[in-house]
Amino acid sequence: MNLIDSLNRIVLKTDRGVFWLSSALCLSLCLIIIFVISPLTGLSKNFSGNDGYIQIAENLVRGNGYVFEKDGSQIFHRPPFYPLFLVPVAIFPVNWQRFVLIFPQSLLVGLISLLIFKIAKRCFNLSVARIAVIIFLINPWVYWNAKNPMTQILQGFLYAAFVWLVGNELFPPVKTSETQQSGGGPLLKSAVIGATSAAIALTHAAMLVVVVVNLFIVSVVAITQRRKQLFLTFISAGVIAIVLIAPWTYRNWVVFHRFIPIAGGGGLAYFNGNVHWSCIEEFPQRPGESYIDASIRVLGIDGTEKTHTHWKGFKDIKYEELADKKMAEHIRNHPVPFMEKFILNAIEFYFPAFVKPFLAIKTITSEQIVLSIFHLVLWVAAGVSIFSCWRKSLLLLAGIFIYAVWYFPFATGFIAHSPYTFGTIPLLSILAAKGLTTAGNIR
């Protein structure tokens, strides 16, 4: 435990220390990746992960509208909050953007570490909080995500913030001179929780369900515990979230004449996941064929990924509706394959190296092997935490489950850094830290 002891003596004692250590570490490692590793290896010369968000931001800056390219189709499968976050980055020339991006992303990593520290300290103790932050910071995929214009870092921060805010209302801290002077009134609390809820929903469409389920659960808890003020806080937060989301929903209605609360793309993502496995579709993905081309073929659409999609989503809303309709039919008519896929996706998101026999194209990378081992260690340690301290650990486990379960029927974890579960890593790090301290009898 020499590393932990050294870090404890230096900075892992205060919220401020945790924030600045994490931000500085993230910034330093991203700079090394960009200016040392990239020139030496030829890897990561450009954004190695990109779902079109930076292109949207660039076109917003240029006044072209919410499109991937000038005069391109209006977009319905990318929600707006992350492109707006990237607008200050998109102001810079393209060759500067990778460098500029890592500054705000590093600050978000610092905030995630800060929230891990605060949640773990509240749930368990200072030792667990320190180790949880270290577990999060030794995860190499933190830095992969931080240097790319992908939603995972912002999404992870917003979800951790949401959990912290909700937890503070469900389990208020013991009042001290410090806590009595902070926290704000009920209306301010509702506004902050509502704004955070709207922000996370507008960052990724699946998060809308996460927010709704969480707010519903805590409202039910408030009713059963007869805590009227708590109930009103979360109902008000829900109303505020709806009000903040409504303008984007209205934009979708005006542009596409369809009710799209946040974003589309679910149907295509569903079939992308189907063709990824050898046991779901009769004719899954073939060697040399992209998973989107395979999905288009299975859907019975004439054309290819290049002709019908841009940045992994349909250009034409009519194909979106067709994919959604066929998704509903597939789930209804094939419940057993659907559950098989649900389980396989859940495994692959965390342990991609373990599902090779079920893949349509049986390829496993070294990154996926490392990711599987890393997650396995975390989950084994988390299991110790759940067994030894089940009351508090089950709450964190519920937070992980509510975040991740909505992804399980969709897409796949074939991306090595597993973006679909990255938002669960802060809470999983806390569980793993508690398990390690229990196993090592660390106080």
- Using DSSP bridges, classify how beta strands 309-310 and 313-314 pair: parallel, antiparallel or unpaired: antiparallel
- The pLDDT value recorded for residue 54 is 95
Residues pairing with 309 in the sheet: 314
- The pLDDT value recorded for residue 28 is 96
- The pLDDT value recorded for residue 269 is 94
Contact at 8 Å (CB) between 424 and 156? no
| Secondary structure of residue 380 in the 3-state scheme | helix
- The pLDDT value recorded for residue 39 is 79
Entry pTM: 0.93
- Give pLDDT tens digits along the chain (443 positions): 565 565 555 557 789 999 999 999 999 999 998 888 877 776 665 665 678 999 999 999 999 999 999 999 999 999 999 999 999 999 999 889 989 999 999 999 999 999 999 999 999 999 999 999 999 999 999 998 999 999 999 999 999 999 999 999 988 876 654 445 455 688 899 999 999 999 999 999 999 999 999 999 999 999 999 999 999 999 999 999 999 999 999 999 999 999 999 999 999 999 999 999 999 999 999 999 999 999 999 999 999 999 999 999 999 999 999 999 999 999 999 999 999 999 999 999 999 999 999 999 998 888 899 999 999 999 999 999 999 988 899 999 999 999 999 999 987 767 667 788 899 999 999 999 999 999 877 54
Residue whose C-alpha is closest to residue 26's, from 129, 102, 100: 102
> 296-302 — which CB contacts under 8 Å span 24+ positions?
298/271, 298/274, 299/271, 299/323, 299/326
DSSP string, 188-234: HHHHHHHHHHHHHHTT-THHHHHHHHHHHHHHHHHHHTT-HHHHHHH
- The pLDDT value recorded for residue 179 is 47
